[in-house]
A and B are shown apart, each in its own frame.
Chain A
Amino acid sequence: MEYPLLAKQMPTRIQKAWRNRSLLGSLIFLLIGAITGGVLAYFKMASPLVTWGIAIYFLLVVFIMIFSLAVIPYRYKYHRYEITSEDLAFQKGYFFRTTTFVPINRIQHVTTEQGPILRQQQLMEIAVHTAATTHRLAGLDAQEATELRQQIIDLVKVAKEDV
């Protein structure tokens, strides 16, 4: 059976944001590696073992970067959400797919977050807090995020809470 996908997707710009984040993160890790290597070489502590260690570190960082860049389209395809009058559904994961349904009347409050990378793409992350867990939507258009937030708040207002 085909895996049931939820109706709504993030805007495609989220892929750009993910790519930037992955590149930036890898760059920082490469810099850390380069600085450590440089310092060790400067103090003449670069034994063969250390050199190998640093080489493996660089390889690992590059490999992780390539992998995370490669899976972005899949990640995008399976990162979905849906809102009905009774619940809010979140879907994520390509290899291990999960769909989480959060009943509206269990939602406590909603937060939105926006870092520099998401701001560059005019996206916002939405986090929905229940009494036990926090569910996140990686990035929505600022306009859409505001609307969704308002929609959730309105539904919460109507739904009777029993926690």
Chain B
Amino acid sequence: MFEKRRYHPIAILIYLIAGFKKWLPLLIVSYISEGLTDNWWGNLFFFGVVLSLSLQALLRYFFEYYQLFEEKIVIYKGIFQKKEIDIPYERIQTIKERQWFFFKPFQITELLIETAATGAKEAEVDMSAVSETVFQQIESYRNQHQPKDVLDKEGSGAVAKEPFEKNGKSYTITNNQIFLFGLTDISVFAGIFAFLLFLEEYLPKIWLEQVGDVTLTLVRTGWLFVLGIAIFLVILSMAVAVIKNFFRYYNFQVSRNGQTLTVERGLFQRHIQKIPLSKI
């Protein structure tokens, strides 16, 4: 059993980043539509956003605790409306581990713990920054609580016949495969299209007119040139897709460790997901 503890202070940084991510589109839009001028109100607005976000992050950090017990995890949060969340280890559906590259040197990870309860969109518990040992601790408690008879039943059944090596990697994706998938991934086109629409909506009119003029001169230069640009755009979008998929699926691994299935992926942000076999 551990005492009641706060998350690692690096969590404040995470809260800040998450807050900015939410505000970023609005900030950019307001910045552009103001015509890129230094104005007093704009600065005040920006300052206000930064201040309130930092305050939020700090408050969240100082009012959230976690505590591990033999049979459950308890999370404490809330300033006025105090909330305690009790999750018994058996009822954990999945544990997702998200590790940013800058967490690694500190041996810190983010843990998302889910049960089968309602509101599946959000994890029941978001332990924003805890030591890796906490993850191992939870895993070991959880393995103790795994129902033993599931193991026996499946041991003689169909599952055992599948080519799972125990405690070993059983499926990985090579870089070539990610590359191929990236080339054929057309979801990026949709993103670019949306981005263009966004530009048309929010950019100042003069810019667009200038772009229109440039396009006209280009068309006059010859169709070959236009074709060249089109091909360049396609290649660019492919490159974006490849890079995106590398970030997302780098070193993708599925493995089985005893009664737990582990899925790992990601380059800068490493995602590790652990699912007990009995919950699938």
Contacts and interface: CB of A to CB of B under 8 A. Distances in A.
B82 A111 contact: no
B87 A109 contact: yes
A153 B88 contact: yes
**A contact face: mostly helix, strand, loop, or mixed:** mixed
A106 to B, nearest CB: 9
B80 interface: yes
A132 B118 contact: yes
B255 to A, nearest CB: 25
Interface in A104-149: 107-116, 119, 129-134, 149
B64 interface: no
Given A108-B91, A114-B81, A156-B91, A130 B86 contact: no
B104 interface: no
B117 A130 contact: yes
Nearest to A106: B116
B118 A131 contact: yes
B139 interface: no
B86 to A, nearest CB: 4
Contacts of A153: 71-72, 86, 88
Interface in B98-121: 115-118
B118 A116 contact: no
Contact of B71 (A107, A108, A134, A154): A154
A109 B117 contact: yes
A131 B116 contact: yes
Interface string A28-39: 000000000000
A34 B88 CA distance: 49
B97 interface: no
B80 A108 contact: no
Interface in A43-84: none
B83 A149 contact: no
B264 interface: no
Contacts of A97: none
Contacts of A112: 83-84, 86
B91 A111 contact: no
Interface residues of B, number: 21
B117 A129 contact: yes
A115 to B, nearest CB: 5
Nearest to A161: B90
A131 B117 CA distance: 4
Interface string B62-100: 000000000110000010111111111011000000000
Nearest to A110: B86
A102 to B, nearest CB: 12
B199 to A, nearest CB: 42
B147 interface: yes
A111 B115 contact: no
A116 B80 contact: yes
Contacts of A157: 71, 88, 90, 145
A153 B118 CA distance: 18
A114 B118 contact: no
A109 B71 CA distance: 12
Nearest to B116: A131
B80 A109 contact: no
Contact of A109 (B82, B91, B145): B91
B88 A111 contact: no
A119 B82 contact: yes
Given A108-B117, A111-B85, A114-B82, 15 more contacts: A108-B87, A109-B85, A109-B124, A110-B86, A111-B86, A112-B84, A113-B84, A131-B116, A131-B117, A132-B118, A134-B118, A153-B72, A157-B88, A157-B145, A160-B147
